[in-house]
Structure 1
C-alpha cells in the first residue's frame, strides 16, 4: 500500500522509515529538504521541551530507548553526560524514571539553587537526518521536494508531519512558531552538555558534538524571523559563558535560526477525509527529536489500523 508522508524533518523522516521498513510503499514530499528544516538547526539533546499532552512522556521514553540502541552503531547519536542548573528547587521531572543515572547536583553554580545531572542522547542533526534518508531509501522509500499548500490526494493514506506548515496542510491556526536562534563554535574539547534555567524566551544551553558545539538559545513565541540577529547572538553568548567560560574565546562557525512548531498539545491522530485516511503528527514544539521514535511507532500503528 502506498503512503505519502508530508514533511522531511525528524518527525516525517522517522515516520517514513518506520513505515518503509514495515513494508509500505512510502514517498516523502516536502517543501524543505532535511538539511533545510528546523530539525537541522536543533541542538537535539533528548529532553522534553515545549511540548504538551498526556502521551508526551510515553513517546519520550520510547524514543530514549531507541536512541540508546542507535548509539551503539550510529556515530551521529552519542550518549553524553551533562548538568542542568535550576534557579529554584524543583521535583524530579515526570520523565526522570527513564534516566538510569539522574542525580541532584550538590553544589550548583552561583545564582542557582538546585540542579541535576544525567546522561542523555545527543543527536548530531545534519548527519543524523542524512542517516534517516539512507535508511528510508534502503527500505525502498523516496524523498521528493514539493511545495504543498494542501495535502496530496494521490495515496490512500497520507501522514501529515509538516511541522509549522500544518497551518496550511491541516488548516490549523493553533500551530504557531517559537523562534530558536543558535550558533556553533569550534570544538575545543568540551564533552559534557550544560543547561541553565533562565527564562522562557532567553534560553541557555551548550551542547557539544563531535566536530562543533551548539550554543543557544531563544524561545520567542510568534516570531517568524528566520534571520539571525547579532544582538541576540551576543546575549546568548553572555548567558552561555556563565556555564562554559571558554566559549568567550571560541571561534564562531555559523549562526542558525529555526521555527519550532508549537501547539497547545501534540496532534497525533487518524481522521477520515473524503476517500482517504489522514494521520496527523505535528505540533511537537522543541521536542521533535525527543518524541520522534515514539510518535513514529504510533503512526505505524495507526497506518496498520487504516490499511
Structure 2
C-alpha cells in the first residue's frame, strides 16, 4: 500500500463509560515501503455489533490517509471515543455525520493555510506536513496484503471524491518508482500480475528510462497525490457546514470528552490522537522534507541501495512539491 501521507502514523484507541477489555491489535502497516515491523502495532480492531448513539465526540491527530476508511468502518463496532483534528479525526467525523450521527471535534490543533502556519507551534500536528501521495507496495506477506486491500479501497474513495469535489485538493497523476535493490516480488512483477492487484496503467520501465545505472528496476502507474492543507481544510469545512461542533482545547485524558461543556448526552469518544494518549508502544518518527516551488508532473519514489528512500510529491493547487526525506524512529529532537 505505501504511505498516503509520507511519515505519518495511524493510531486509534477507544474508551466507554464502563471498563471494558482492550480490543485485539493488528500490526501497523509498513511505512515508506520498508519492511513491516510488528513492534509498531498501533491499530485497534473492534468486533461485535454495537453501534453508538447519536452523540459522538471525535478528536484526532496523527494518521495515515490510506487507513481512513478502515478506521472508520471498524471504529463503529464498540463503544469508543476519539481525540484531535488530523486527517483521520476529520475523516472519521465526516463519515459518522454521513451515517446520521451528531458529532463534535475536540482538538488543540486544526488545519491552517500553508502561508500562515506556525511550524514550531504545530510541530506535533503532523497531518498537514505530509506529502502526500499513494505509493503502491507489492505485498509479500499477510500484513502487506491487508495494507494493499485498504489502499485499494482508499484509491476508489479518493477517485470518487476527486470527481465529486475537485476543490478537495486531490490530483491523479503518474507514479514513478526507481529501485536500486528490488525485492523478489518486484523483480517478478508482470503487467498481468499488477492488473490483478488493481494497479491502474502499470508498466515496467525499460533500462533506457532509468536515471542512472544504479537503478535496477523501475515502473510507472496511475496514482493520486493530495495537498494535505487543502484536503484537511476541505474536510473541516464539510464537517462544519453539516452541523458539526468544533472545540479548540487541549485535554489530558480522553474521558474528559464526556464532560465537555456545551455537549449533552455524549455516548462515545473516538481517540485518534496518535502518540497523544500514553500508549508506551506508540512512538514518534522524526522526518525532514523540503517544500520547493518547482512543479513536478509525477510523484517519484527512489529506493536507494543503503535502504534509504528519496521522493518528490507534488502538492498541486499552487502547493509546490515536497522533496525528501528522512525517517528516524524514536527521535523526539525537533
Once superposed, what is the RMSD of the aligned Cα atoms? 2.3
Listed as ranges, the gaps of 5+ residues in structure 1 are: 227-307
Which stretch of structure 1 is more off in the superposition, 123-132 or 86-95? 86-95
Q: Distance in 2 between matches of 1:127 and 1:201?
A: 32
Give the aligned partner of residue 43 of structure 1: 131
Listed as ranges, the gaps of 5+ residues in structure 2 are: 1-53, 59-82, 113-121, 138-142, 260-265
Residue 95 to residue 18, structure 1, CA distance change in 2 (3 Å): farther
Give the aligned partner of residue 223 of structure 1: 331
Give the aligned partner of residue 58 of structure 1: 149
Q: Is the 8 A contact 1:8 1:32 kept in 2?
A: yes
1:74 is aligned, of 166, 180, 184, to 166
Kindly indicate whether structure 1 or structure 2 has the higher relative contact order, using CA contacts under 8 Å at least 6 residues apart.
1
Q: Which has the higher strand share?
A: 1
Q: CA deviation at 1:223?
A: 1.0
Residue 43 to residue 199, structure 1, CA distance change in 2 (3 Å): farther
Q: Is the 8 A contact 1:203 1:217 kept in 2?
A: yes
1:161 is aligned, of 253, 272, 282, to 272
Q: Distance in 1 between matches of 2:236 and 2:242?
A: 10
Q: Distance in 1 between matches of 2:218 and 2:145?
A: 25
Which stretch of structure 1 is more off in the superposition, 142-151 or 38-47? 142-151
Give the aligned partner of residue 300 of structure 2: 194
The SS at the match of 1:153 is: helix
Q: CA deviation at 1:98?
A: 2.5
Equivalences for residues 1-307 of structure 1 within 5 A: 1-5=54-58, 6-35=83-112, 36=122, 37-47=125-135, 55-72=146-163, 73-75=165-167, 76-90=169-183, 91-92=185-186, 97-107=197-207, 108-110=210-212, 111-151=214-254, 152-154=257-259, 155-165=266-276, 168=277, 171-187=278-294, 189-198=295-304, 202-210=308-316, 211=318, 212-226=320-334
Q: Is the 8 A contact 2:283 2:330 kept in 1?
A: yes
Q: Is the 8 A contact 1:201 1:220 kept in 2?
A: no
